[in-house]
């Protein structure tokens, strides 16, 4: 999505029915004489065969699951010992049965059952077995999470909150603890625009809610901490190549080494090029003047990535550079349809120097110094002939940000189970530039240059009240040069009544500061609002974590998130211009259930279901792009003595309301991956088929789109071959 104001070119176009829909006229909704010519509201009715199309894939999927389960039982009966023999097991096997641990929840390594949050962890083994290609696909598998894609950017929905066109600014994205959100739009890049190759990811920690005092700003709905591989886990030279549908290919090369003196080095480079769909049909543009709704060769996607990580004992230096270009086929913001000049370019880079040192077994301190850079360059061609101007004018929309910062904290282990952390951080946003202008003839709408600064102090402590009862407390104060200071507490009570049972009662308070785009955008059709205040949320959550027999693990959580002062676009009645204001209230509540089974000899299965509601506080109406139900399921079977894996994952998303009051239909999308890890010395091969049954489904579009629903890819494939030298 471009950073242009969505209302600037929002003319309220109707959506045309899809070929498998029928249209009915309802009560009048527009005044006679409307320039669009309609005084009837058109409602699109799903085809009668909808349930049939949903049931057939479900039955096929059930048969496939039964077949995989039967195969697994046969293999386990022949090859698996009755219980795992830890002596003689490989390191990979031991890691598979190790108790999950997390780093990002409290700033130090701890068991998931001891962390003051509801947490999900996805490992590099999961990424390979299930064929995840981007961080967005990884997060799509997380309970309570869903992803929308408008053929430009990927947008993350969390527990029912995923407003179309949102910039992922209400979730904090970290890479090895380094903040990835930019300093202009506060956007978290998660699709192909994410600057880290998924082959470099060791694990992804998903921490729901603002339950950590270490991160408050932007950690509004949660924290995602991407932990990259160490050189000791990626030694020597590795190369891989991929071929996929839509004219897609990718190459990745990395080199890692762990020297005897303690120096670790990991270098990586990736290249990706996709022609995209050669032919996309959008019925909203089905007219002779717009090529009958067919967009040809305007869906290309490219990126270049460079990654370097050097570490020596407790000192680590990390450098990241990512460049991504995406051609936009949807003619968003009223641009010329089927024009290859409509595109966005995002560049993200940083240098991060970190030092982590321990004094004996009780004291420790960490220090971080970093420099970051982000730039956005959008080109949008318009037809100005109706206003007496040229037939084609290119509008440039630019954003450039630079910032540096420092962090420092000290930790003290008081008793066996009590750890006190006190820390501070500072960030200097010395460049926050926004610009918008037309080319030939040149006309400037926006030229804004800003700077700002942020500093914070925080403390957190884990206090054991009893041997099985822990009180986790935290307090953080943040001061912004734009609006002042804010204090946010959080608390967690963690109780283990039995050896395999953990109950967590969580309370968190957080804020999201208005970003530079929301504060200072005064381009054509908009005005700034320097009096914006932070959004606030106070979360309450109850979590049950239960280990069952036969290596089953059950997690259940219920939550309530009241959001106040939500920043939204409105029209100023006195000027008729668009302005951002703290105008909305939202209530989020729901229940999540997850069940996981993992055995050391290769069989793993899991499933989750989320029931959630996210409604406007004043009217009680559901938010756009907010599904009431989400479900995820996965099954992995080890074949040929852990040399070949057959994996299947499935995603279900219930219907979602669109911005125009219609609904994007529910969908079930399964994918299948065959992955070979040890079939030949040094080689790894995987074949994935996504959307196996070619399900037709779409995501609600933002207001900048003429489309009400943007349909996603059908059945497609990827073949990946890698070699470890």
Segment 180-219, tens digit of pLDDT = 999 999 999 999 999 999 999 999 999 988 765 566 566 7
Contact 717, 689 (CB under 8 A): yes
Residues 161-180: tens digit of each pLDDT: 998 878 899 999 999 999 99
Contact 359, 404 (CB under 8 A): no
Label residue 21 by pLDDT band (50, 70, 90): very low
Q: What's the pLDDT score for residue 96? A: 40
The top-scoring range by mean pLDDT among 145-159, 375-389, 462-476, 599-613 is: 145-159
Give the count of beta carbons closer than 10 Å to the beta carbon of residue 536. Answer: 18
- Identify which has the larger pLDDT, 237 or 79: 237
Q: What's the pLDDT score for residue 419? A: 84
Closest alpha carbon to 304 in 370, 344, 252, 233: 252
Average pLDDT, rounded, for the chain: 83
Element (H or E) spanning 181, and its range? none
In which residue are the tokens 């049950």 written? 544
Q: What's the pLDDT score for residue 69? A: 38
Closest alpha carbon to 124 in 197, 222, 15, 218: 197
- The shares of helix, strand and coil residues in the chain, as percent rounded to the nearest 5, are 10, 55, 35
% of the chain with per-residue pLDDT over 90: 60
Residues 572-582: tens digit of each pLDDT: 787 777 788 88
Contact 198, 127 (CB under 8 A): yes
Task: Kindly state the average pLDDT of the residues 293-298.
Answer: 95
In which residue are the tokens 């790894």 written? 684
Q: What's the pLDDT score for residue 136? A: 97
Chain centroid to CA 705: 21
Closest alpha carbon to 553 in 524, 521, 517, 594: 594
Q: Is 287 exposed, middle or buried (0-12, 13-18, 19+ CB in 10 A)?
A: exposed
Q: Is the pLDDT of residue 11 over 50?
A: no
HSE (CB half, 13 Å, CA atoms) of 52? 3
Strand partners, 570: 579
User: By three-state DSSP, how is residue 193 classified?
Assistant: coil
Q: What's the pLDDT score for residue 103? A: 58
Contact 204, 229 (CB under 8 A): no
Output the pTM of the full model.
0.85
User: By three-state DSSP, how is residue 162 classified?
Assistant: coil
Residues 113-124: tens digit of each pLDDT: 777 888 899 999
In which residue are the tokens 């002062």 written? 565
% of the chain with per-residue pLDDT over 70: 82
How far apart are alpha carbons 107 and 113 in whole angstroms? 15
How far apart are alpha carbons 477 and 456 in whole angstroms? 5
- Angle 292-297-300 from CA coordinates, rounded to 5°: 135
Q: What's the pLDDT score for residue 139? A: 96
Q: What's the pLDDT score for residue 642? A: 73
Q: What's the pLDDT score for residue 415? A: 74
Q: Is the pLDDT of residue 22 over 60?
A: no
**Reported CATH class of domain 6-724:** mainly beta
Q: Is the pLDDT of residue 44 over 80?
A: no
User: By three-state DSSP, how is residue 106 classified?
Assistant: coil
The two structure tokens encoding residue 183 = 């300093």
The two structure tokens encoding residue 257 = 């080494």
Q: What's the pLDDT score for residue 551? A: 80
- What DSSP letter does each residue of 606-670 carry, written as one string? EEEEEEEEEEETTT-PBPTT--SEEEEEEEEEEETTTTEEEEEEEEEE--EE-TTS-EEPPEEEE
* 604-616 vs 578-598, strand pairing mode: antiparallel
Q: Is the pLDDT of residue 336 over 80?
A: yes
Element (H or E) spanning 295, and its range? strand 294-296
Task: Kindly state the average pLDDT of the residues 393-417.
Answer: 91
**DSSP letter at 516?**
H
Closest alpha carbon to 644 in 610, 671, 677: 677
- Angle 479-482-486 from CA coordinates, rounded to 5°: 30
Strand partners, 317: 310, 353
Residue 43 neighbours by CB under 8 Å, 6+ apart? 23, 24, 25, 26, 662
Q: What's the pLDDT score for residue 210? A: 76
* 172-175 vs 222-228, strand pairing mode: parallel
Contact 93, 604 (CB under 8 A): no
How far apart are alpha carbons 338 and 331 in whole angstroms? 7
The two structure tokens encoding residue 629 = 């139900």
How far apart are alpha carbons 253 and 260 in whole angstroms? 24
The top-scoring range by mean pLDDT among 40-44, 45-49, 106-110, 439-443 is: 439-443
Q: What is the CA radius of gyration of the chain?
A: 26
Residues 555-612: tens digit of each pLDDT: 999 999 999 999 887 777 877 777 888 888 999 999 999 999 877 767 889 999 999 9
Contact 657, 697 (CB under 8 A): no
Q: What's the pLDDT score for residue 707? A: 95
Task: Kindly state the average pLDDT of the residues 446-454.
Answer: 94
């Amino acid at each position: 999505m471009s950073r242009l104001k969505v209302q600037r070119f929002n003319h309220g176009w109707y959506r045309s029915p899809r070929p498998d829909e029928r249209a009915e006229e309802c009560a009048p909704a527009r005044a006679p004489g409307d320039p669009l010519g309609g005084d009837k509201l058109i409602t699109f009715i799903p085809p009668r065969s909808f349930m049939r199309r949903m049931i057939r894939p479900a039955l096929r999927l059930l048969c496939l699951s039964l077949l995989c389960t039967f195969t697994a039982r046969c293999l386990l009966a022949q090859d698996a010992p009755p219980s795992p023999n830890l002596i003689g097991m490989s390191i990979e096997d031991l890691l598979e049965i190790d108790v999950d641990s997390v780093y990002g929840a409290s700033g130090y390594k701890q068991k998931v059952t001891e962390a003051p949050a509801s947490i999900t962890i996805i490992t590099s083994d999961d990424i390979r077995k299930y064929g995840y290609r981007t961080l967005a696909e990884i997060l799509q598998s997380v309970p309570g999470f869903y992803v929308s894609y408008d053929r430009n950017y990927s947008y993350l929905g969390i527990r029912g909150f995923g407003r179309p066109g949102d910039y992922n600014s209400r979730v904090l994205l970290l890479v090895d603890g380094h903040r990835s959100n930019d300093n202009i739009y506060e956007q978290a890049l998660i699709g192909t625009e994410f600057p880290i190759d998924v082959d470099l990811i060791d694990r992804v920690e998903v921490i729901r809610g603002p339950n950590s005092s270490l991160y408050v700003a932007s950690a509004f709905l949660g924290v995602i901490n991407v932990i990259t591989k160490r050189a000791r886990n990626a030694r020597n030279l590795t190369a891989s190549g991929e071929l996929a549908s839509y004219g897609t290919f990718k190459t990745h090369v990395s080199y890692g080494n762990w020297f005897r003196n303690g120096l670790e080095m990991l270098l990586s480079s990736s290249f990706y090029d996709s022609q995209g769909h050669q032919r996309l049909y959008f019925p909203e543009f089905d007219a002779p003047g717009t090529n009958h709704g067919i967009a040809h060769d305007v869906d290309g996607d490219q990126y270049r990535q460079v990654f370097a990580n050097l570490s020596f004992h407790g000192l680590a230096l990390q450098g990241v550079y990512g460049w991504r270009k995406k051609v936009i086929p949807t003619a968003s913001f009223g641009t010329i349809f089927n024009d290859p000049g409509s595109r966005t370019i995002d560049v993200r880079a940083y240098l991060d120097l970190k030092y982590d040192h321990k004094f004996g077994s009780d004291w420790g301190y960490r220090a971080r110094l970093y420099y970051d850079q982000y730039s956005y360059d959008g080109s949008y061609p318009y037809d100005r002939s109706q206003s007496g101007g040229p037939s084609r004018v290119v509008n440039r929309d630019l954003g450039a940000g630079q910032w540096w910062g420092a962090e420092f904290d000290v930790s003290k282990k008081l008793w066996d189970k009590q750890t006190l952390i006190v820390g501070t951080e500072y960030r200097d946003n010395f460049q926050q530039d926004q610009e918008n202008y037309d080319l030939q003839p040149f006309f400037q709408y926006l030229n804004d240059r800003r700077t700002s600064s942020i500093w914070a102090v925080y403390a957190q402590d884990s206090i054991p009240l009893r041997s099985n009862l822990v009180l986790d407390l935290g307090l953080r104060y943040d001061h912004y040069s734009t609006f002042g200071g804010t204090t946010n507490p959080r608390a967690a009570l963690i109780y283990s009544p039995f050896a395999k049972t953990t109950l967590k009662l969580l309370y968190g308070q957080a804020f999201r500061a208005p970003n530079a785009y929301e504060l200072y955008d005064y381009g054509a059709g908009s005005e700034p609002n320097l009096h914006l205040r932070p959004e606030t949320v106070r979360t309450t959550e109850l979590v049950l974590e239960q280990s069952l027999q036969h290596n089953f693990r059950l997690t259940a959580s219920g939550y309530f998130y009241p959001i106040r002062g939500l920043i939204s676009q409105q029209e100023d009645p006195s000027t008729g211009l668009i302005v951002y204001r703290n105008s909305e209230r939202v209530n989020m509540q729901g229940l999540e259930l997850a069940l996981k089974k993992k055995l050391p000899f290769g069989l793993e299965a899991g499933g989750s279901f989320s029931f959630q509601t996210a409604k406007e506080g004043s009217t009680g109406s559901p938010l756009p792009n907010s599904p009431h139900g989400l479900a995820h399921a996965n099954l992995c079977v080890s074949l040929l003595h852990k040399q070949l894996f057959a994996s299947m994952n499935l995603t279900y998303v219930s219907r979602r309301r669109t911005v125009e009051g219609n609904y994007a239909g529910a969908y079930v999308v399964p994918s299948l991956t065959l992955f070979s890890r040890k079939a030949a010395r040094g080689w790894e091969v995987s074949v994935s088929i996504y959307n196996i049954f070619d399900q037709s489904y779409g995501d609600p579009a933002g207001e900048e789109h003429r489309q009400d629903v943007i349909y996603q890819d059908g059945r497609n494939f990827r073949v990946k071959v890698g070699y470890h030298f």
